[in-house]
Amino acid sequence: MPDFNGKDSERNQVHFVETELDLGITFAESALVSFSAGDLDKAKQSARYAKTARRAAKRFSAKLEVRGKEREVIAMKLGKLTHLVEKLSAIK
pTM of the predicted protein model: 0.88
Write out the residue range of the structural domain in which residue 16 sits.
7-90
Render 16-78 in DSSP notation, one character per residue: HHHHHHHHHHHHHHHHHHHHHTT-HHHHHHHHHHHHHHHHHHHHHHTT----THHHHHHHHHH
In a domain, 51, yes or no: yes
Closest CA to 42 of 52, 51, 53, 30: 30
**C-alpha Rg value of the chain to the nearest Å:** 15
Number of domains in the chain: 1
**Per-residue pLDDT reduced to its tens digit, 41-79:** 999 999 999 999 999 999 999 888 888 898 899 999 999
C-beta of residue 57 within 8 angstroms of C-beta of residue 17: yes
Q: What is the C-alpha end-to-end distance of the chain, expressed in Å?
A: 49
Length of the chain equals 92
% of the chain with per-residue pLDDT over 90 = 70
In a domain, 2, yes or no: no
User: Has residue 38 got a pLDDT over 70?
Assistant: yes
CATH number for 85: 1.20.58
